[in-house]
Structure 1
Amino acid sequence: MAKIVNYISEAFEELKSNVTWPEWAEVQKYTIIVAVFSIVLALVTWGVDESCAKVIAGFFKLLKP
């Protein structure tokens, strides 16, 4: 158990002293970029899905006698 506690405390110490954390403004900027990209990607995926559904429905409509 002491090894686990030692590992965790060393990990936290390394995070505090050796990791370079970005500035808050930079974090906000990248968060907005990721959110916008996620929304755009979701809309593109939805559009492709709707288009494929219409093409498949039209194909099956042609096959019906």
Structure 2
Amino acid sequence: MDKVGLKAYLEETVDELVHKVSWPTWSELQSSGIIVMIASVLIAVAVLIMDVVFGINPGGIFGWNGVFGLFYGIDS
């Protein structure tokens, strides 16, 4: 791409970002951020619960005791 084409491309890109893109308001951004944080915590809790439930493995018959079993088994 030559310099003229690159300059035109960059000018069009800036024009589109400034004039054609609808950016969220501050309150929309905050509410979306809160939703993402809540969803992340819920997914993390769900994964933790699944790890604990599927990690209940008496005697390590299947070789996996969950992440907690892995951490607690390091020193033994």
User: TM-score w.r.t. structure 1 length?
Assistant: 0.76
- Runs of 4 or more consecutive aligned structure 1 residues displaced over 4 Å after TM superposition: none
Among residues 29, 33, 37, which one is paired with 1:27 in the alignment?
29
Counterpart amino acid of residue 37 in structure 1 = A
Which runs of no fewer than 5 residues in structure 1 stay unpaired?
61-65
* Distance in structure 2 (CA, Å) of the matches to 1:37 and 1:43: 10
User: TM-score w.r.t. structure 2 length?
Assistant: 0.67
Counterpart amino acid of residue 35 in structure 2 = I
Which runs of no fewer than 5 residues in structure 2 stay unpaired?
62-76
Q: Return the structure number with greater relative CO, CA threshold 8 A, min gap 6.
A: 2
Question: How many residues get paired?
Answer: 59
Question: What SS does the aligned partner of 2:23 have?
Answer: coil
- Residue number in structure 1 paired with 2:13: 11
Root-mean-square deviation over aligned CA pairs: 1.8
Counterpart amino acid of residue 11 in structure 1 = T
Structure in which a larger fraction of residues adopt helix: 1
Identity of aligned residues (%): 28
